[in-house]
Chains A and B, each alone.
Chain A
Amino acid sequence: MRGSLGGRVAQIVPTLLLVTVLVFLLQHLMPGDPASIMAGEEQDPQLIAQIRAELWLDRPLPVQYLHWLGNVLRGNLGYSWRMREPIAHLVAEKLPVTLQLSAMAFCIAVAIGVPTGVIAAVRRNSAWDYLATGVGLAGLSTPNFWLGIMLILLVSVDLGWLPPSGYVPLSEDWRQSLATTIMPAFVLGNAIAAVLMRHTRSAMLTSLDQDFVRTARAKGLSEGRVILRHALRAALVPVVTLGALELGTLLSGAVLTEQVFSIPGFGKLIVDAVFNRDYPVVQGVVLVTATLYVCLNLAADVLYVLINPRLRGA
């Protein structure tokens, strides 16, 4: 653990600032002149000059950066070139969809990964262990868009159990919503399940060896109770904190999963923006995900310190 809690919180400020600088610089990789693109069909030089002034494009770079940062802090992420819609609106519309998907994916990952990891640890070096580790490795190695396509082939086309694509919001029809999101959530959660399984296994192995567990065993508690009460509780700590870190994997995976299942979420937003050559949206997505990730990492660190009493003193 790096330093105290207060130190940890203070550390994210320079990190976040650096993130904004990086994202701002990304903007200057953008091909095309934003002003002439916004001017549209007329290409009137006067209009273009006017737009440049409006967008502060004629000022020096650091000034532009501060202006842009100021806007961002006030919630103004700029406008989409394609839809002329505020990017903040697009984010507010699409992010919840991806978050719903990610939450479901994480639940599925925990439901699969943790029990499997526990069994693998408890039955260490047995057939179960090898099987679990093998399946876990296979899960990590499967490209999730391929898994998605194969699942669609099997479950939707061959068996006809679930709709192959599309998305119904939870608020509209919870049954249809579940039907449209369960496959993508499974695909998304699949890789995380594998990672969770490995970490649960090694955390369980470590805690099963520890003194307080041996003491509990010596006291005569049944094996099952030992596992449940002590080992599992100790093992869940790294697992829970790992969850926040895996948000990055979830968001990356969401890009592909949403593409395969045609889900209008955050991931699909950036892919569509790329083919729209809508660079402000690309930039906005990068900024939002990075900020989310940094904050979630911080939350994970805080959680870790809070849960693990032995670290509080540090």
Chain B
Amino acid sequence: MSTALAAPTLARARRSPAQVARRRFLQRPSAVGGLVVVVGFVAVAALAPLVAPDDPSATSWSLIRKAPSLLHWMGTDENGRDVLSRVIWGARASLLAGVVSVLIAGGVGVPAGVLAGFAGGRTDAVLSRVVDAMLACPFLILAIALAAFLGPSLQNAMIAIGVTAAPIFMRVARAATLDVAASDYVEAARAVGNPSWRVALRHVVPNIAPPVLVHATLAIAMAIIAEASLSFLGLGQQPPAPSWGSMLNAAQRFLTQAPWLAVFPGAAIFLAVLAFNLVGDGLRDALDPRDGGRS
């Protein structure tokens, strides 16, 4: 690898890193496929009122647990509600939870990480110890504990997931900051006499964006599974509002009579998470050429 770089680097120097990354990303079919699916889910979630054939909360006592048919493509559930509509609206809950949780996690974790990495010394030691302590607890268990104390609701689930995911963002941001802070131009900027916060904002933050972005994408995937898990346990989205996780919970009772109740919501989670994972992987490879080979 090391021998082959000299010539191409000169040629590529004329294109911006963002353009290079985009080209590399688009060259990978799996990443592109993932992006298409992600966009699809986002569109479906955003346009749910228009796309869903029925009201997801509309119960119908005569249509209990009907198998998939032309009228109800994914069948109906135990209260006669259209499963397809519920899956579509469930996308809203899941994607919202995914994005908001990651925003919370990033909003808390990234500044903490930049601070720790840039300031160093005592600040770093203290923050790192706090993060270690928070990371000591398995993610879902801490999320459950928080959701339990805060009370079950989608908002509280998002807060719980966001808080639990923040430490990892801190770590990622800190590691990236340390990398960038050691580079020549940052040292030069500091040597010239620029105040630290300015250097941080103008030079560090834009340059840690790639690894943070990669992690954020993968974190959305993780957050979607976490929200589904919490809802599955009854701690997330409350009825009658649909969530893929709570639909799976209800489906357990009717596994023999109505297996479609379990298949569709689970497949939705799987596809959404897979798509975000593919995009995240693609981003990672596109933005960090040093990572040899494929993934």
Is A240 at the interface (CB under 8 A from chain B)?
no
- Find out whether the CB atom of B133 lies under 8 angstroms from the CB atom of A248: no
Q: Is the interface of B mostly helix, strand, loop or mixed?
A: helix
**Quick one: CB contact mask for B250-274 with A, threshold 8 Å, 1 for yes?**
0110011001001101100110011
| Interface residue from B149, B262, B274 paired with A149 (Cβ < 8 Å) | B262
- Find out whether the CB atom of B255 lies under 8 angstroms from the CB atom of A138: no
| Interface residue from B141, B266, B274 paired with A255 (Cβ < 8 Å) | B141
Across-interface contacts of A15 in B (CB, < 8 A): 129, 132-133, 136
Is A286 at the interface (CB under 8 A from chain B)?
yes
Is B88 at the interface (CB under 8 A from chain A)?
no
- Complex Cα distance, B255 from A49, in Å, reads 50
Given A143-B266, A256-B232, A270-B141, check contact A279 B148 (CB 8 Å): yes
Across-interface contacts of B221 in A (CB, < 8 A): 141
- Find out whether the CB atom of B277 lies under 8 angstroms from the CB atom of A137: yes
Among the listed stretches B13-21, B43-51, B170-178, B287-295, which one makes contact with chain A, having 4 or more residues with CB under 8 Å of it? Answer: B287-295
Which residue of chain A is the closest to B125 with respect to CB atoms?
Answer: A14
Across-interface contacts of A285 in B (CB, < 8 A): 141, 145
Which residue of chain B is the closest to A22 with respect to CB atoms?
Answer: B133
B276 smallest CB distance to A (angstroms) = 8
- Find out whether the CB atom of B266 lies under 8 angstroms from the CB atom of A146: yes
Which residue of chain A is the closest to B275 with respect to CB atoms?
Answer: A141
- Find out whether the CB atom of B141 lies under 8 angstroms from the CB atom of A252: yes
Is A46 at the interface (CB under 8 A from chain B)?
no
| Interface residue from B129, B136, B251, B269 paired with A143 (Cβ < 8 Å) | B269
- Find out whether the CB atom of B255 lies under 8 angstroms from the CB atom of A251: no
- Complex Cα distance, B281 from A255, in Å, reads 27
B171 smallest CB distance to A (angstroms) = 13
Which residue of chain A is the closest to B262 with respect to CB atoms?
Answer: A149
Across-interface contacts of B141 in A (CB, < 8 A): 251-252, 255, 267, 270, 285-286, 289
- Find out whether the CB atom of A256 lies under 8 angstroms from the CB atom of B149: no
Among the listed stretches A25-33, A72-80, A108-116, A225-233, which one makes contact with chain B, having 4 or more residues with CB under 8 Å of it? Answer: A25-33
Is A205 at the interface (CB under 8 A from chain B)?
yes
Is A282 at the interface (CB under 8 A from chain B)?
yes
B159 smallest CB distance to A (angstroms) = 12
Across-interface contacts of B248 in A (CB, < 8 A): 143, 145-146, 149
Q: Is the interface of A mostly helix, strand, loop or mixed?
A: helix
| Interface residue from B136, B228, B234 paired with A290 (Cβ < 8 Å) | B136
Across-interface contacts of A145 in B (CB, < 8 A): 229, 232, 248
Which residue of chain B is the closest to A20 with respect to CB atoms?
Answer: B133
Which residue of chain A is the closest to B232 with respect to CB atoms?
Answer: A145
Across-interface contacts of A157 in B (CB, < 8 A): 255-256
Among residues 127 to 168 in chain A, which have CB atoms less than 8 Å away from a CB atom of chain B?
A: 129, 133, 137-138, 140-143, 145-146, 149-150, 152-153, 157
Which residue of chain B is the closest to A18 with respect to CB atoms?
Answer: B133
A198 smallest CB distance to B (angstroms) = 7
Which residue of chain B is the closest to A23 with respect to CB atoms?
Answer: B137
A9 smallest CB distance to B (angstroms) = 14
- Find out whether the CB atom of A149 lies under 8 angstroms from the CB atom of B255: yes
Across-interface contacts of B293 in A (CB, < 8 A): 124-125, 205
| Interface residue from B136, B138, B245, B270 paired with A19 (Cβ < 8 Å) | B136
Given A146-B248, A205-B292, A260-B252, check contact A141 B136 (CB 8 Å): no
- Find out whether the CB atom of B134 lies under 8 angstroms from the CB atom of A143: no
- Find out whether the CB atom of A256 lies under 8 angstroms from the CB atom of B233: yes
- Find out whether the CB atom of A255 lies under 8 angstroms from the CB atom of B133: no
Across-interface contacts of B209 in A (CB, < 8 A): none
Across-interface contacts of B295 in A (CB, < 8 A): 133, 198
Is B161 at the interface (CB under 8 A from chain A)?
no
Among residues 180 to 231 in chain B, which have CB atoms less than 8 Å away from a CB atom of chain A?
A: 221, 225, 228-229
- Find out whether the CB atom of A14 lies under 8 angstroms from the CB atom of B129: yes
Is A100 at the interface (CB under 8 A from chain B)?
no
Across-interface contacts of B130 in A (CB, < 8 A): 18
- Complex Cα distance, B278 from A205, in Å, reads 21
- Find out whether the CB atom of B144 lies under 8 angstroms from the CB atom of A283: no
Across-interface contacts of A279 in B (CB, < 8 A): 148-149
- Complex Cα distance, B262 from A253, in Å, reads 19
Which residue of chain B is the closest to A164 with respect to CB atoms?
Answer: B255
Is A61 at the interface (CB under 8 A from chain B)?
no
| Interface residue from B132, B138, B228 paired with A249 (Cβ < 8 Å) | B138
Across-interface contacts of A293 in B (CB, < 8 A): 136-138
Across-interface contacts of A251 in B (CB, < 8 A): 138, 141
Which residue of chain A is the closest to B141 with respect to CB atoms?
Answer: A289
A-B contact pairs, 30 of them (CB 8 A): A15-B133, A18-B129, A18-B132, A19-B136, A30-B149, A125-B293, A137-B274, A141-B270, A141-B273, A143-B266, A143-B270, A145-B229, A145-B232, A149-B251, A150-B262, A252-B140, A256-B140, A256-B233, A259-B232, A270-B144, A274-B147, A275-B234, A279-B148, A282-B148, A283-B145, A291-B136, A293-B136, A293-B138, A294-B132, A297-B136
Having A205-B293, A282-B148, one finds 14 other A-B pairs with CB under 8 Å, namely: A15-B136, A29-B149, A31-B151, A124-B293, A133-B294, A143-B225, A143-B248, A248-B137, A249-B138, A275-B234, A279-B148, A279-B149, A283-B145, A293-B136
